[in-house]
Amino acid sequence: MRIGVAGLNASGKTEVVRFLEARGLYPVSLSDVIRDDLARDGLEPTREQMIARGRSLRERLGAGILAERVLATLPADRNHVIDSIRHPAEVETLRRSGDFVLVWIETSAEIRYRRLRCRGRVGEEISFERFEELQEQELRNDDSGGQQLLAVREMADEVVENNGELGELHAQLQRILERHLFFRQRPSWDTYFMNIARVVATRSNCIKRKVGTVLVVDRRLISTGYNGTPRGVRNCNEGGCPRCASAAESGTRLDECLCSHAEENAITQAAYHGVSVAGASLYTTLSPCLICTKMIINAGIREIVFDASFPLGERSLALLSEAGVKVRQLQDEADSIG
């Protein structure tokens, strides 16, 4: 889960981040990308320098570049709070990454100016008139690379009023957590195991197609397999398979292929370690070929869940049906709890 925090200067974003961090969310800031860029040029991160450099980065590398760089560093197993969001393209980039909620902090100009003077940061010793000028630049900007906080505010999922006591702010944030974080749903078991199969596929050494398979009994993973040359044989991506090495046309010269398929490897790995696969469910990123289908039936596997269809798989599916093996293709889901 990622909660984005946006608002005008001195609206209270730091306090919001502090509150969420204390509840297990890891803090990151899009502004750190700009600070790092300025530091490489030996420049101080004054407010005006930050605004100018942010505009420059968006113009040169795309309006969502700050969010893209931050997302590239975030581990998938943590919840994060992300602040300093100042452009609608950054919101769109963060939303595409998965579960994301944008919180806008609404605070009056007078209160924000008083806070600004109290914190005494470098470059913030400005008059109220200059403060309002900078605010206008943040809110509306015809320059595609400039800050466009008015558009960001319109995209907010939640608006928090921060003109009162700290306790009032915290109470609003607690309600937001309860709506969006505490009752989040998990992926279904099908999606869970298929995602594992997709990761398994990345270990494949086949240069034509990477396939991954997992075998599951009672929602317990018992074996994995990916396609590639047999144990002790030169890898496919090192020239071990003559069919793949010669870039043979799809569906041709299959008698020259030395690679074992992912389903075959998952079954034989279980046998190698003395693990029964009878009654198992098989999750595979590609529906099985005819040879793997016969092995699946004789191994006693009761169900196959596949992602993509094998181009020559019609006969396999018919045989599985005749043998009473349940076959399902994974469908898009609403992330129901399994």
Strand order in the sheet with 80-83: 26-29, 80-83, 2-7, 100-106, 158-161
Compute the distance between CA of residue 336 and CA of residue 73 in angstroms, rounded to an integer. Answer: 28
Residue spans of alpha helices (H) in the chain: 13-21, 31-40, 47-61, 65-71, 88-96, 109-119, 128-139, 149-154, 166-180, 189-201, 242-245, 262-272, 290-299, 314-322
Going by C-alpha positions, the residue among 261, 90, 103 that lies closest to residue 169 is: 103
- Strands 2-7 and 80-83, by their bridges, are parallel
Active site includes 263? yes
Q: Which of 90, 132, 136, 263 is catalytic?
A: 263
Q: Which residues pair with 306 in a beta bridge?
A: 284, 329
| Sign for the pseudo-dihedral over CA of 34, 27, 96, 211 | positive
Q: Are 205 and 228 a contacting pair, CB within 8 Å? A: yes
Going by C-alpha positions, the residue among 233, 238, 252, 249 that lies closest to residue 207 is: 238
Q: What is the DSSP string of 279-325?
A: T-EEEEEE---HHHHHHHHHHT--EEEEEEPPTT-HHHHHHHHHTT-
Three-class SS state of 123? coil
Angle between helices 47-61 and 31-40 (to 10 degrees): 100
Q: Which residues are catalytic?
A: 263
